[in-house]
Amino acid sequence: MNGSTDRTPVVIAARRTPIGTAGHALAGVDLVGLLRPVLRALVEDLGPKAPGVDDVVIGNCRGPGGNPARVAALAAGLGTAVPGVTVDRQCGSGQEAVHQAATAVLAGAVDLVLAGGAESASTAPWRLARPTTSTGLPTPYDRAPFAPSEIGDPDMGPAAESVAAMRGVTRERQDAYASRSHALTLAAARSGAFDAELVPVGGVVSDERPRRLTEAVLSRLRPAFVPGGTVTAGNCCGVSDGAAAVAVVAEHLRATLGVPGLALRGWVCVGLDPNTPGLGPVPAVARLLKDCGTELAEVGVVEMTEAFAAQVLACTDALGLDPLGRDAARVCPQGGAIAMGHPWGASGAMLLVRLFSQMVRVDGPRLGIATCAIGGGQGLALLAERVG
């Protein structure tokens, strides 16, 4: 792991909206409406001594198109001189935005970037494919392909079932993990652990989805994707609305401002079989640790996008982690997307916000990892170290 240099990228502020279930609490707020208050809050957190923002990089998966990063930067009052770019790495888009910001800072191209992601599933446009049949009528367009059909292009639910079967992740373990996620999230919310990171939106001040769900209740739910399967609506995430972003600066600027932060020591993206995309964190974390010369035992917290309990457990099994036992305090220790929801383009950035709160706001573990699986067979991982 490299030591700090003047150009080391460091996260010094991190904010997010509450997460709303699609069609409910945040249903009337569009993509820019979610991003605007988060960007404003970051600028306020940076304070008057910080220089101007050099760029805004935002991940989005299923939005209106165009360049919502630029639109949001203007709507947030950052000024016409601040550019913006929108990136799409599917449900890793928010984390990819942070990776790109960190790369630009490390290269010396910029000193201060606001990076993150947003998704408004509630206001995402309905799309129609151009006519391809003899009727001459357009047909509903659900999603872009994750991979060529001849290789395999499963939806995420059936893919999670494949991973569960391949890795022997039982229904009972999945339900136990889902119950844990809700319980931890509710406990964290009650303790005020989310207060400093949250930015109210439209009168919504807290995450909408978390609730008390016992394993007994979860066990009564039917399989959601495959007859006789193990993945249910209870042990996977919900379709959601939300935004999250962080301020990434060069180390010399962090030192000048005299604030603590998360030094980004390494970040990787890997590819794998599109038929088992949920396993993406396994090779991503392995490569990250090798590149940084770090052992997983040194890492105090691992934040992983909880798209499906099956996928999280398959990955943690492969990495030698036990979130239902000895590593309960290390893996998503305050819950995750199963309880909070999964606003696709924002979820990767949510991981960085959660690391910041657990490592910097409360002087927590020295090292943390953010990692997520991506439709189409990719995995992202980032290593952060508390500094200052």
Specify the CATH number for the domain of residue 52: 3.40.47.10
- Rounded Cα distance between 94 and 12, Å, is 17
Catalytic residue from among 61, 237, 342, 372: 342
Question: Residue 1: pLDDT band by 50, 70, 90 thresholds?
Answer: very low
- Rounded Cα distance between 230 and 163, Å, is 11
pLDDT per residue as tens digits for the range 243-289: 999 999 999 999 999 999 999 999 999 999 999 999 999 999 999 99
Residue 136 lies in a domain: no
pTM: 0.96
Catalytic residue from among 91, 236, 315, 332: 91
Tokens 């947003």 sit at which residue?
A: 118
Sequence-distant (≥ 6) Cβ neighbours of residue 267 within 8 angstroms: 98, 99, 102, 103, 288, 380, 381, 382, 383
Residue 255 lies in a domain: yes
Does 61 participate in catalysis according to the annotation? no
**Number of CB atoms found within 10 A of residue 257's CB:** 16
Residue 324 lies in a domain: yes
Cα 46 to chain centroid, rounded: 22
Report whether pLDDT(316) > 90.
yes
Residue 129 lies in a domain: no
Question: Residue 129: pLDDT band by 50, 70, 90 thresholds?
Answer: confident
Residue 133 lies in a domain: no
Residue 143 lies in a domain: no
Residue 211 lies in a domain: yes
Does 237 participate in catalysis according to the annotation? no
* Burial class of 215 by CB neighbour count within 10 A (0 to 12, 13 to 18, 19+): middle
Contact 34, 241 (CB under 8 A): yes
- Rounded Cα distance between 365 and 386, Å, is 7
Domains contained in the chain, number: 1
- Rounded Cα distance between 121 and 99, Å, is 24
Question: Residue 132: pLDDT band by 50, 70, 90 thresholds?
Answer: low
Range of the domain at 41: 1-124+151-388
Tokens of 242: 């939300």
pLDDT per residue as tens digits for the range 18-38: 999 999 999 999 999 999 999
Return the ∠ at Cα 234 (arms to 59 and 196), rounded to 5°: 50
What pLDDT, on the 0 to 100 scale, is given for residue 139?
83
Residue 134 lies in a domain: no
pLDDT per residue as tens digits for the range 321-376: 999 999 999 999 999 999 999 999 999 999 999 999 999 999 899 999 999 999 99
Contact 311, 278 (CB under 8 A): yes
Span between the terminal Cα atoms of the chain, in Å:
17
